[in-house]
Structure 1
Amino acid sequence: MNYLPNIIFAILLIFGIGYFTKNVKKLIRNIKLGQDVDVSNNKKERFKNMMRIAFGQSKMVRRPIAGILHAIVYVGFIVINIEVLEIIIDGLLGTHRAFSGIGATYGILIGVFEILAILVLVSVTLFWIRRNVIKIRRFWNKEMTSWPKNDANYILYFEMVLMTLFLIMNATDVSFQSMNNGNVISQFIAPWFSNLPEVTLHIIERAAWWLHIVGILIFLNYLYFSKHLHILLAFPNTYYGSLKPKGQFNNLESVTKEVKLMMDPNADPFAAPAEDTNEEIPAKFGASDVQDLNWVQLLNAYTCTECGRCTSSCPANLTGKKLSPRKIMMDTRDRLEEVGKNIDVNNGEFKDDGKQLLGDYITHEELWACTTCNACVEECPVSINPLSIILDMRRYLVMEQSAAPTELNNMMSNIENNGAPWPYNQMDRLNWKNE
């Protein structure tokens, strides 16, 4: 019976990590549904971007209040959970504060953890106030339906509870309090329980300990369903982020080859095209569903924090247009999840469900409202590129369906016929100088 708590702990740990691993495999499977893209170049620069943007939070602090609060929560939550290692050892071996044997250093570490816990509690509370009391506009856009709003609050509540349990665990641990070293914050909480018998204190401490580790396992497995999946994906997403100059268009190789052939004065326009067995002709120009996007774009969708910085800086959205870059990413993730579930229920094979990303999730109006200014790309704190998805879907509309707006179709026809976007014959271009 003495080993029963350790057995229960091991079962919880195995189940929690097992379910998390299952979701990670599903996540990787879904991302791999995207088209292949070569992002193996400039590894040194990619690593620098990852350390600067994901680890260093360089783009978060452009908005100082949110950036500093986020940095506190990020650092605090990561550092405090180092103690999870001690909890796992204690839980499996039946020890109590296994790392306390390192002496005064242990007290210093726990003291730092307690200070960070208070800072996280304060920061999370301020985040909750900004979201629910002040109601900052970008958190209340129309795409922020009940689930996205609730999801954000659930995460804040999780963090509040976990930090509180950590401090209560320390405050009611009689042996820890007697150390007089490391109980920087918990010493002020301990008097709240001073009138309780030692047996009751032990029960409270054990309850807080169990709830803390169970809460962490629940939080870990909740990430897959939450916008906070970026905690795990921000690092690979910033590493694989585009290194090209913003605004550089990704030309299709097959189209580029045709254009070069047309511009070659020595080429015979009536000659049959040479067969090139190495040239891969795309099955579809552009993208109409998530499987047509590349895997980095799908990774972007899962990494989206739904913070709304992209939408709040989008000139189209600011002028009342329907476009919201955040919604583009949320829709892509929702559709990808739908496709993944379709595969799950059909024994690993996708069966046409009569839906696609274009039309059922993202409308033509949204796509053509984009000015391609790259403001959303510049603002994203984790290197997400909504514009790349917009452009690929526009490419599909133009090249597969000839469904561009009338004004754009007229312009392209003029360029083709007159060599300029205006409806004037090339011979008449300079007539204005005679007027």
Structure 2
Amino acid sequence: MLTISKGYDVKNAEYIPAGDKSISHRIAMLAAMSKGSVMIRNFSQAKDCESTLKCIEALGCRIEQKNGLVEISQGKTPEGKVLLDCGNSGTTARLIGVVASFLGIESTIVGDNSLSQRPMNRVVDPLQKFGINIKSRKGKLPIEVIPCNNLSANFNFDMEIASAQVKSAMLLAGLFNKGRLTITQPAQSRDHTEVMLKNYGVDLDVQNSYIIMEGVQIPEVSGEYEVCGDFSSAAFMIAAALVRGFELTIKRVGLNPTRVGFLDILTKMGAKIERYNVKKVDGELTGNIKVFPSKLVGVTVSKELVANAIDELPLVAVLGAFAEGTTKVIDAKELRYKESDRIKSTVTNLSKLGADIEEIGDGFTVKGITQLKGTTLNCHKDHRIIMSMAVAALGSLGETKIEDSKWVNISNSQFFEELKKMVPGSVTKA
């Protein structure tokens, strides 16, 4: 358990985020499907990405980690059925079955208690229709995978909900399909998979609402690859700077347009934010951000921005509590299917701090400028809720104790150390 308080006053700070989780997952899985050997710089140290490395190692990959680098190459194909333990990682659980199928390895996909309660059929069902031999147990883990690496279907997949994980699973399967795969999206979701595939020479026709892939296209993932800084990690520090009113510089962070919807929301709320030194690194936009003290106002966040800010929406609720007027988030039903029901978790914990917040069917409303007061919180072992409430605690009177603070390790084991460095005196052991 840790205690969060306002700490000391800060005028300015600097932050360099660790490697991006989403990209780290994807480069590891693509490397597992390739015949090459790749050296990855700045690979995420998050527990979720560690789960992905363990899974591809179980599938026969050789993993070497040294001097902050991760090298992935092909090893010996395992004999018999393989157990793939995804820990708490939903991305791993939803994508690794395609990798196992392609490699021709019979597998059982499992996870921890939390992951075992999360829905899997939205990935399993379309993969089955596509021709992958995969099945879940009543829509949840465990998932059984029977090798099937020779697809030959012309398949049209109309996504009901914009989901980068579902889309990525289908695209990975499309790599070993002899026919045409057409994916239609209701809204744009993060496109790290498309960017990475194109970076390695895969021919994709990508428009706003659809993606077309034709024929077998297994890329050779070799040489070096650099993972940009994780924007989702940076988002918590941006929010902390806005809550406490100090200037913040963030360096070498990913600025993929489908990932930074949070910045667009903050701009609507009146935040003064600058992006500079923007360039492409291995296909991904990377650059620096400067955040200035700003007076925030409430806004409505709907479908157009939700998909590209899904992980940061609990932070929008936090900032809404410090903004003038009402902040409303709608069309965010996807939040209910994360590590916790993030709509309920966000509303419950901010309410305990004294925020005027109300849950609605697919989102929440927050009326701002109510002084928050420290209390004891339980964040349902959800790393993003823990970090969001820590930011809220920075602007609260007194001390806030977070009972399940250790679960930040799922995405950023250094979060509280980084927060304490940025705002001295803000984090202590309870």
Fold equivalence (TM over 0.5): no
Q: Which has the higher helix share?
A: 1
Q: Which has the higher strand share?
A: 2
Higher-Rg member (1/2): 1
TM-score of the two chains, using structure 1 as the length reference: 0.28
TM-score of the two chains, using structure 2 as the length reference: 0.28
